[in-house]
Structure 1
């Protein structure tokens, strides 16, 4: 039997979910498995293993080879692995850039990517000032609340943004948040025109942030970086100057 690493069992375990995740884990060690192999490893009947594999195949996590009937990792599972590797590489390459931005601007710097209508913060360098914006590493927020998210949304077409949200009214984080899709599209048009995005108290009251794009060597938008500070130190009127300083540093520190 294949040995895998286990953490504490959840308080309310779901056997079918646990079995499905166990199959995914098994494919780490055995690139191709027969139905009977899966059933034996799980300690279930072949019919139960077949239902689990069919559900995973429906979502693209496994696939069955038509020539041998063996089960292998599906495209969805492979894509998750590729994404994890890419994000890991991005973190390594972007860290020196974040540190340079933080040293130059003296404020908290975030690195973010878009996941649908959310922005996820992969890394941050927090300001050393006594009054500062806390790092949001690991957190996700509505993209249209944040400068990082707006910069990333500006990287796709307005039609795509409409499809992503699928509604006219947008959720709000504060009284200053954009709450209408048409207003958001107008803001994104401006982001594309000026090359940066601003968040003025839209995700957190009294916090202002400015974001610029990070592009790969082929020009593809891969992430965005933002500078966030208390409103009394970073006014919206200062956004253009801050953005230009950020863009100059980004241009000399390609990732």
Structure 2
């Protein structure tokens, strides 16, 4: 008898957790009281279920006792389910705008754990330019796009991804100190732009900004990638990147 009751309780918890995932995907923002009412359970039960989803990366909180919204696992699973080609299609006008304005190679990147994947690129038109990187995976903290996305994460989610605070560099210029990375991410949050100065590859620099969905969650980043010798002589790269991000977000918000 006890085994039957225990089995029913487990199935009920699984069912409620799955319903919470669907609610998070649909509503994008969910409070404990709302979750309890919608599931027909006690607030303590709703809080326990949401805390479990948060612990596994399916939900995040911007602050203690705050509302929950989709976490990186749910976002990344959703991107995989719909296919990255959809994100690439949405980003295409923004990428083309950014390439035409800067004449440099531009990229669309997505955060995957502690890494960033280049989901799409358009090569620049200058005679000396950075080549295409589509499909390449690099450590997020060693790229402009990755740092832009890390800066856009809630602090609790950032610390969940780096519980030990250890950072492995890719070049001598890479940031390997957690304190230094935190300071840089704070600057990115304040200014909206992230920079990479030969931190991922020697001779290559970049500027990037995060693209957010309607809830403010980061879903991708746009970047301009340039030979290091041109980084200091192209002051308009940052403004062009932010303008392209706005173009992308306008399209994104109409479908998400």
* TM-score when normalising by structure 2: 0.63
SS in structure 1 at match of 2:231: coil
Q: Which structure exhibits the higher relative contact order, with contacts defined as CA atoms closer than 8 Å and separated by 6 or more residues?
A: 2
Where does residue 165 of structure 2 map in the other structure?
Answer: 168
Higher-Rg member (1/2): 1
Contact 1:158 / 1:185 at 8 angstroms: preserved in 2? no
- For the pair 1:226 / 2:251, whether they are aligned, the reply is no
- For the pair 1:137 / 2:111, whether they are aligned, the reply is no
Contact 1:107 / 1:132 at 8 angstroms: preserved in 2? yes
Give the Cα–Cα distance (whole angstroms) in 2 for the partners of residues 114 and 82 of structure 1: 11
Contact 2:108 / 2:221 at 8 angstroms: preserved in 1? yes
Over aligned residues, Cα RMSD in angstroms? Answer: 2.3
Where does residue 83 of structure 1 map in the other structure?
Answer: 80
Q: Indicate how the Cα distance of structure 1 residues 252 and 114 shifts in structure 2: closer, same or farther if over 3 A, else same.
A: closer
Pairwise CA distance, 1:130: 2.4
Structure 2: runs of 5+ lacking an equivalent: 1-72, 252-256
SS in structure 1 at match of 2:166: coil
* TM-score when normalising by structure 1: 0.64
Give the Cα–Cα distance (whole angstroms) in 1 for the partners of residues 227 and 79 of structure 2: 37
Contact 2:153 / 2:217 at 8 angstroms: preserved in 1? no
Contact 1:124 / 1:135 at 8 angstroms: preserved in 2? yes
SS in structure 1 at match of 2:206: strand
Q: Indicate how the Cα distance of structure 1 residues 202 and 216 shifts in structure 2: closer, same or farther if over 3 A, else same.
A: same
Where does residue 203 of structure 1 map in the other structure?
Answer: 200
- For the pair 1:115 / 2:98, whether they are aligned, the reply is no
Where does residue 251 of structure 1 map in the other structure?
Answer: 246
Give the Cα–Cα distance (whole angstroms) in 2 for the partners of residues 81 and 219 of structure 1: 16
1:14-53 aligned within 5 A: none
Pairwise CA distance, 1:217: 4.1
Q: 1:124 aligns with which of 117, 121, 125?
A: 121
Pairwise CA distance, 1:181: 1.3
1:56-71 aligned within 5 A: none
Where does residue 178 of structure 1 map in the other structure?
Answer: 175
Number of matched pairs = 177
- For the pair 1:101 / 2:105, whether they are aligned, the reply is no
Structure 1: runs of 5+ lacking an equivalent: 1-75
Pairwise CA distance, 1:89: 1.5
